[in-house]
Amino acid sequence: MRGIGVASSQLIRAAALSAPLVPLEGCVAAAIVTTLDPKCFPGPSHIAFWRMGSQVASCAARMDAEDVIYHDGAFHFVFRQGDLLMCTPNEATVEQLQVGMDFRMFLGSRLAVLRAGARYLVECRGELLMVLRIQPHHKVTSEIRVSRMTQEQAPDADGTYAYYSTDAGHARYSWTELPTLDCRMLFVWRGCSRSFEVAHFPGSQEGVYFLDDGSFHAAPLICYGDGPRQYGCCNNGVWYGPPDDVHHWFPLQPIDLLVPCLVSPLRALTT
């Protein structure tokens, strides 16, 4: 991969597209990438953009994002504090791709955000949701919270699980926790989270179906060396909504040679 500024190997950790691959015209790819240098430790992480057909990244910025999704005409990147970066590509040709950036810093109580082992963005019913997978001390998932991004006129009275932001136009935004899943089925994974309605799958159950991604931040280290790839794969499961606990599909295994993979929605719904 080229276009980050130096000729080096790059590891794509998560990616999203602005449109279907067919036709290629108008499709832009956004990714979270990490520089790999065999002579030293993994380098910094970036977000990068390509117009389909380009051989190099047209735009790049040094940022360590958690997830990316294309929603409402813009790429949305979420960071460890729950903040968002909205990136809107222009409609120019391959060589003239430019991306407008709008950073939204979500303020307020961040206890839940700081304890999260992972953050995922998923579109559901036209809204942008953020799923927090609580993983204390890097152990297995103990709790999941689902919030939606809303525009607020004033803070809530308690503000326990709301995180507020003010953009340049003085509009206030917050992550507001959902009291129930309300017949939603959310399958979460970096760059490809999907939502489904229980009514469309008879016999199914609402819940957040998650995949172990303990290797996300350690991914550059996994790529080093000539030996078999080793993935920490111990944390696949489902959360059926409050007040239920998290249920794990498989017993704890510290090391697995298999790449973690998301269970097919239909298969998961019938097991």
152 sits in which H/E element: strand 143-152
> Per-residue pLDDT for 266 more than 50?
no
More confident residue, 54 or 166: 54
**Number of domains into which the chain is organized:** 2
Percent of the chain with pLDDT over 70: 64
Quick: pLDDT tens for 84-102.
999 998 876 656 788 889 8
Domain shared by 9 and 139, yes or no: no
Domain shared by 172 and 101, yes or no: no
Domain shared by 65 and 128, yes or no: no
Quick: pLDDT tens for 23-52.
767 789 999 988 776 654 566 788 999 888
Instruction: Say if residues 219 and 232 touch (Cβ distance below 8 Å).
Output: no
Question: What is residue 9's three-state secondary structure?
Answer: strand
> Per-residue pLDDT for 218 more than 80?
no
Segment 48-77 shows an average pLDDT of 88
> Per-residue pLDDT for 196 more than 90?
yes
Give the pLDDT score at 225: 61
CA 125 from centre of chain: 18
Domain shared by 258 and 134, yes or no: yes
Domain shared by 178 and 252, yes or no: yes
> Per-residue pLDDT for 265 more than 50?
no
Instruction: Say if residues 69 and 46 touch (Cβ distance below 8 Å).
Output: no
Domain shared by 91 and 126, yes or no: no
Residue 64's domain spans which residues?
1-105
Domain shared by 54 and 122, yes or no: no
Question: Which one-letter DSSP state was computed for residue 231?
Answer: B
Which one of 105, 127, 158 terminates a domain?
105
Give 111's pLDDT tier (boundaries 50, 70, 90).
very low
Which one of 105, 140, 166 terminates a domain?
105
Which one of 75, 105, 135 terminates a domain?
105
Cβ contacts of residue 251 below 8 Å, gap of 6+?
none
Segment 165-179 shows an average pLDDT of 68
In whole angstroms, give the CA distance from residue 248 to residue 155. 36
Domain shared by 149 and 215, yes or no: yes
CA 187 from centre of chain: 11
Domain shared by 163 and 268, yes or no: yes
Question: What is residue 6's three-state secondary structure?
Answer: coil
Give the global pTM: 0.80
Per-position DSSP letters for 236-265, written without gaps between them: -EEE-STTPPEEESS---S-BSSPP-PPPH
Domain shared by 15 and 114, yes or no: no
Domain shared by 116 and 84, yes or no: no
Domain shared by 92 and 144, yes or no: no
